[in-house]
Structure 1
Amino acid sequence: MPTSPLLTTVIPTYRRPQLLRRAILSAIEQDGVEVCVRVCDNASGDGTREVVAGLAAEHPQVAYHCHPQNVGAVANFAFGVRDIQTPFFSLLSDDDYLLPQFYQRALAGLAANPRAMFWVGTTLNVDADGRIWDARMDRWPRDGMYLQPEGAMAMTAGMAPTWIGIVFRREVLEQLDFLDPETLGPSDLDYTLRLAARFPFVVERVPVAVFTLNASSISATQPMAAFWPGWLRMFQKVPRYEGLTDADRDRLLAALKADARRMLFRRGVHALAAGRRDFAREAATALARDCSRRLPAMALRALAGACEHIPGVQSALSWGYRKAEMRIVASRGGLQQRYGHLLRDP
């Protein structure tokens, strides 16, 4: 007699049918856990429906819904978590995939820690050439239970876990609002931080998922208007976070603002290396206006002007930036040796 599924994998998708197939298979092939997969198609209008139908014919636990029109990424994720009936759920993007034994490890960890509302493993950040750029959770200080405020603070300084490597208890959907559409690009970070500020969670630094660094993805190409207002909204919300003292909220807000300043400058330099001078100037404006960081803003503007008016500066900057990226990858060669065998082809 078939057993009831324990976990729902929510996979929003838009026009990536072949990568979607890999994502779905990585969920339904999880050993030792009965899974149902919920695919939410943002009106792709390509071969997505046929790919999912073919998999569903072999795996009846795969369900498919296609919106009549594109509702946007945040609304599609929100639709996916409606009325989840299983005790646990996870969120998976269509171009990412899960590694074997993820769900088994996560559910065992949550069973051993009944106070924990979610479980976090290590997500590998991998580019299109199969190079592992980062395994962020490996740099966390320890495994085990994280309480407030330690858990939320551990997610600052660029160390927030990628949510595809998290298994949540269904109760979090009942006790805390899901994604805030007004937070835009960083809505996933906002959600994870709000959870960490309120609930205990468990960390186990083992590889469980692969996040694809895609040059054409929204996160790589989005304009300032798609993410910076979301950061400003996060700043406004932190003083209302439940589960923290006033002093802890102040500390978390200061850390987030420091993260935002670094992120703006880094994205500005990245944009200049790619020839996107208008973006770099917008980042400079935000640094000066919203973060009171005039020197970094002046540096970005000066670089943008030099790239525009002085022959050879743009190509030199682009070359230097690529070299710096390659040095970063080379410095993390141990990740490739440790985890390279886990990667799958598209």
Structure 2
Amino acid sequence: MRPRPLIDRPGVSVVVPCYNYGRYLPDAVHSALSQDGVDVEVIIVDDASTDDTAAVAHRLASADARISVVIHEDNQGHISTYNDGLSRAAQRYVTLLSADDLIAPGALARAAALMEANPRVGMVYGLPRDFTDQPPPVAAEGRSTWTVWQGKQWISLACTRGHNFILSPEVVMRTEAMVGIGAYNKALPHSGDLEYWLRAAAAWDVGRINGPVQAYYRVHGANMHQTEYAAAAVDLRHRLDAFRVLEDPRLGVSAEFRARQLRRVERALSKEASTLGFREVADGGSLAAVELRKFIEGLQQVPGNVHRANTLQAAIVRGRRDPHTAYARKQLDRLRWRIWSMTGIS
């Protein structure tokens, strides 16, 4: 779909939750306030940081009336902090920006333009790019296209693959959609974002900006996605917990659709656990492979699960490493990454 330009300057609320990331806060706020084509308000929510976050936030707010600051007296955790900040959003669109991440130049206008042209789209995402110290130079903007999925279609894609296609800082939402969907689920501190996207897609269509980078995601030791395969079984369980939102009859889609998608999720996660288990065996990680086998065994209703678990167990017993398998795996991973970067699904 060919992008259409914005006609007016819609407002965007940028909620910046922060805990002990005062050193990153100025860059995050600048990336929001420097956006062209939209009117931005920034809401900084300091979750009782023990560093200088509060002082930095107040200094930034004193220099720019577009910034407001909320200080928690007691630490409430990241989910409650998200919900507090989002509840204060007053503009037509809203995005949640972690204090260590950055919004790419032009990203908010691109997302707003897609939603202005497609009133049924409640959530837009795009390509994130990671960085460790300084974000890479912004490339000259090339060809850009839009993809719009019906919400149920996007849910089906996510369930078929069992993946969360979105890191988080690249998402911009229609505030009306955010209010209707409700708060993040405090019971899902590790996979609440995936559960939130599924709830959004159950009520609204989903859009994607194809081409330009929409956000920069800082990679460091504290990132929740920086896990070894040893934690793969834990990650799979968290994802399954998020997909369990499809059991909720209040979701706004039929019981038949919800049941069918849950079966797809369980099958996809079972196959992924098997693949990761064989990777672990090839890399000498037998203990992690055992945990992945246990995860497979827990999905008792998935066709072929018994055979899948037994085959993995046999490989664990053999404990054989295969360098050819490792090479093929790297090539497949590279291909999957290219598909995801271009299409937003993998």
TM more than 0.5: yes
DSSP 3-state at the match of 1:35:
strand
Which of 167, 172, 193 is the equivalent residue of 1:167? 172
Q: 3-state SS of the aligned residue for 2:165?
A: coil
Match of 1:248 in 2: 257
Q: What is the aligned partner in structure 2 of residue 82 from structure 1?
A: 87
CA contact (8 A) 1:199 1:243 kept: no
CA distance in 2, matches of 1:155, 1:88: 24
Q: 1:110 aligns with which of 85, 109, 115?
A: 115
% same residue: 21
**Residue pairs, 1:1-346, within 5 angstroms:** 6-124=11-129, 126=130, 128=132, 143-156=146-159, 157=161, 158=163, 160-206=165-211, 207-221=213-227, 228=237, 231-232=240-241, 234-235=243-244, 237-238=246-247, 240=249, 242-265=251-274, 280-290=289-299, 293-294=305-306, 296-297=308-309, 328=333
Distance (Å, rounded) in 2 between the aligned partners of 1:110 and 1:52: 30
The separation in 2 between residues aligned to 1:326 and 1:49, in whole angstroms, is: 46
- For normalisation by structure 2, the TM-score amounts to 0.73
Q: Which runs of 5+ in 2 are unaligned?
A: 1-8, 137-144
SS in 1 for 2:154: helix
Q: 271-280 or 281-290: which moved more?
A: 271-280
Q: Give the structure 1 partner of residue 3 of structure 2.
A: none
C-alpha root-mean-square deviation of aligned residues, in Å? 4.0
CA distance in 1, matches of 2:46, 2:281: 34
The AA in structure 2 aligned to 1:191 is Y
How far, CA to CA, are the matches of 2:259 and 2:17 in structure 1?
A: 35
CA contact (8 A) 2:28 2:100 kept: yes
**What runs of 5+ residues in structure 1 fail to find an aligned partner?**
133-141, 339-346
> Residue 100 of structure 1 aligns to which amino acid in structure 2?
P
Give yes or no for contact 2:131–2:216 (8 Å, CA) kept in 1.
no
Change (3 A) 1:15 1:298: farther
What TM-score comes out, normalization by structure 1 length? 0.73
Shift of 1:104: 1.0
- What SS class does the counterpart of residue 248 from structure 1 fall into? helix
**Alpha-carbon distance in 1 for matches of 2:276, 2:69:** 36
Residue 145 of structure 1 deviates from its aligned partner by: 3.1
Amino acid at match of 2:34: E
